[in-house]
Amino acid sequence: MEELQNWLEDLLNLQETDSRLDRMKTLVADAPKQKKDAQDNLDAQQAAALAAKEEVRKVELEIKGFAAVIDSIDKRRLKLLEQSSSVKDNSTYRALLHEADSLQEQISDKETEELEVMEILDAKKAEFLGCKGKLEEAIGRVEQMMTDLDVRVKNCQAQMSTLEEKRSKEASLIDDEILSRYERIRVKKSTAIVELNEDKCGNCHLKLTTQEVKLAKNRVAHTSCGNCGVLIYR
Ligand SMILES: [Zn+2]
């Protein structure tokens, strides 16, 4: 009986070590992709911040354009007023004043338009600041994440060599036939041996036959679930 118990304990120890190794291998293997995803996300945020900055620049240029147009209209208006002061003829004088007034109206219209664009500028600036804030936060977060990930990968790699040694020792204790069966199952499933839950398989959760449950209870090596094929015990 003791011998029967040993195969089980040894196999469970091996499976525990293999599971830990699997988790570490996954972490190490996934690290480059995790880093790439984080970098891609950062690049996208950087591009968004640059695009928002460009939007601000465009609106600022538009406002400069307004200022130049208003300035040139005003120069024309002042020139008319200057001309009007030296005109003797009344109707010419009134015509010049009328033209100057209409230029003043044009200036007012342009100023109204300019105010509207200034409001747009405020909104664009707020948008840019939002993007910039998010980007700065993300840069800090990603840097920390990369550092943490590097440390975790290093720790895992160090632990993995210790675990590999532990695994060889544990595997050497197990009967060749059971070991090769265990390894064949583990290629397809992360769990090769499970405890029964009442009369159900702990892996596929389906009900087992009375015979299977009896063998599992007696801890007979090689007893497996007729549904999913994993080794079972109880
Ligand atoms: Zn099963």
Contact 194, 202 (CB under 8 A): yes
Distance 224 CA to ligand 1 centre (A): 8
Distance 64 CA to ligand 1 centre (A): 75
What pLDDT is stored for residue 1 in this prediction? 44
CATH classification code of 27-165: 1.10.287.1490
Report how far residue 233's alpha carbon sits from residue 14's, in angstroms, rounded to the nearest whole number: 15
> Beta strands 193-195 and 231-233: pairing type?
parallel
pLDDT tens, 73-127? Answer: 999 999 999 999 999 999 999 999 999 999 999 999 999 999 999 999 999 999 9
Distance 208 CA to ligand 1 centre (A): 8
What share of the chain has pLDDT > 90, as a percent?
Answer: 97
Q: Which two tokens stand for residue 5?
A: 């118990």
What pLDDT is stored for residue 2 in this prediction? 46
pLDDT tens, 78-88? Answer: 999 999 999 99
Distance 231 CA to ligand 1 centre (A): 8
Distance 216 CA to ligand 1 centre (A): 12
What pLDDT is stored for residue 5 in this prediction? 60
What pLDDT is stored for residue 6 in this prediction? 86
Q: Give the residue ranges of the chain where pLDDT is below 50.
A: 1-2
Domain boundaries defined on the chain: 27-165
Distance 167 CA to ligand 1 centre (A): 25
Distance 227 CA to ligand 1 centre (A): 5
